A and B are shown apart, each in its own frame.
Chain A
Amino acid sequence: MRVGLLGRKVGMTQVYQEDGTAVPVTVLECGPCTVLQVRTPERDGYSALQLGFADKKRARANQAERGHARKVDAEPKRFIREIRQDGPVEGIGAGQTLTVEVFQGIAAVDVTGTSKGRGYAGVIKRHGFRGLRASHGVKRMHRHPGSSGPSADPARTRKGIRKPGHYGHERVTVRNLAVVRVDPSNNLLVVRGAVPGPNGGFLMVRQTNKV
């Protein structure tokens, strides 16, 4: 079974190992999550656990959401995601609550979230272009992309040329982050490195599938 939970990014800090090395870490508030539904191959065509995290006011939820939560005797949830499983899940049923303890003994996780939105960004920020020179006759084109292709032949811009446009606020997965600490009493999971999104952003944390 692939272990997974939903949570929220708390923020980054650093902790010291015993030998004095400082480890950059991100603190995640993970769970408790309610299993809202178990997807089975017979009914749904695939196996997965549908989890819900963070309660929502009943008045804010629509009838469908309320009914879905009522089936497992839970409050409507703000954040619902499915954790895909390789095979049928055993030992976990709808209505059960999962806490951060599921990560005990797991060495690394993948974290999926929505990255910070940058709005309409130029090619330097968005694609890492170098821009034009600061001087030597460059005229108000310092952060421009330069040429976007040949001229008369093919007389059009080739598909896939990197251009300015909307950047960020997209689904990003960071894989293989080492688990530094699991703190069940405060529902905290501490992982090494950065995770997508702003502090307070919702995240899906899964046991890594990287070998």
Chain B
Amino acid sequence: MQNHLLNLVERSSMKETVPAFEIGDTVDVHVRILEGEKERIQIFNGVVIARSGSGTREMFVVRRIVAGEGVERKFPLHSPRIADIQVKRSGKVRRAKLYYLRERSGKAVRLKERQPAKLTAEAAKAAKAAKREVRKSAKQAKAAAKAARAEASAASE
């Protein structure tokens, strides 16, 4: 649908790399705030409950509970005022929009943590090998320590 000339213009005001985060993630959004002359960074922490739009108009909604009251802020993803987005925790969710969290309170708001993505076969093999290596070296160290202890006891006798 989108015209390539339109994309050319949009790309110029888009961030080159957008921090990777997903729906359900708990994030810290670093927002640049101008106070008179000074600029400082304010952090808004909460759960990403929606992402919408495309191109320069992409927005995301972050929800958090402040003093028992739900607070939602909608941020433009490509705005220069958004300095950084850091993922603190990944949530396991089955929906693109988590509006159902609005009806929940207390413990029910919590989301199950998402496990890191399944490894590819090769990566899994490498991880296994590394683990074995670690175990091996630990065994060796243990044996060496035992030998040293035995030697020490023999020497004292």
Binding site for B on A (CB under 8 A): 10-11, 13-16, 18-20, 22, 25, 27, 29, 181, 183, 186, 188, 190, 199
CB–CB B80/A15 < 8 A = no
CB–CB B79/A190 < 8 A = no
A20 CA to B10 CA in the complex, in Å?
A: 15
Q: Which residues of B contact A29 (CB under 8 A)?
A: 5
Interface status of B153 (Cβ within 8 A of chain A): no
B10's nearest neighbour on chain A, judged by CB, is A13
From B6, B78, B79, give the contact of A27 (CB < 8 A). B6
Given contacts A10-B3, A20-B32, A199-B3, contact A15 B9 (CB under 8 A): yes
A16 CA to B13 CA in the complex, in Å?
A: 6
**Smallest CB separation, B24 vs chain A (Å):** 27
CB–CB B5/A16 < 8 A = no
Q: Which residues of A contact B121 (CB under 8 A)?
A: none
B55's nearest neighbour on chain A, judged by CB, is A13
Nearest 5 A/B pairs, CB to CB? A20-B81, A15-B13, A16-B13, A11-B6, A10-B5
From B5, B32, B56, B76, give the contact of A188 (CB < 8 A). B5
Q: Which residues of A contact B6 (CB under 8 A)?
A: 10-11, 13, 27
B14's nearest neighbour on chain A, judged by CB, is A16
CB–CB A13/B56 < 8 A = yes
A199 CA to B56 CA in the complex, in Å?
A: 19
A15 CA to B79 CA in the complex, in Å?
A: 9
Main secondary structure, interface of A, reads strand
Number of residues of chain B lying within 8 A (CB) of chain A: 18
CB–CB B9/A188 < 8 A = yes
Interface status of B12 (Cβ within 8 A of chain A): yes
**Smallest CB separation, B74 vs chain A (Å):** 13
Q: Which residues of B contact A13 (CB under 8 A)?
A: 6, 9-10, 55-57
Interface status of B8 (Cβ within 8 A of chain A): yes
CB–CB A27/B9 < 8 A = yes
A19 CA to B57 CA in the complex, in Å?
A: 17
CB pairs A–B below 8 angstroms (15 shown)? A11-B3, A11-B6, A13-B55, A13-B56, A15-B9, A15-B10, A16-B78, A20-B79, A22-B76, A25-B9, A27-B5, A27-B9, A186-B5, A186-B8, A188-B8
From A10, A11, A15, give the contact of B12 (CB < 8 A). A15
A29 CA to B9 CA in the complex, in Å?
A: 11
Q: Which residues of B contact A19 (CB under 8 A)?
A: 34, 80
A172 CA to B5 CA in the complex, in Å?
A: 24
Q: Which B residues from 1 to 37 make CB contacts under 8 A with A?
A: 3, 5-6, 8-10, 12-13, 32, 34
A190 CA to B3 CA in the complex, in Å?
A: 15
CB–CB B9/A190 < 8 A = yes
Q: Which residues of A contact B5 (CB under 8 A)?
A: 10, 27, 29, 186, 188
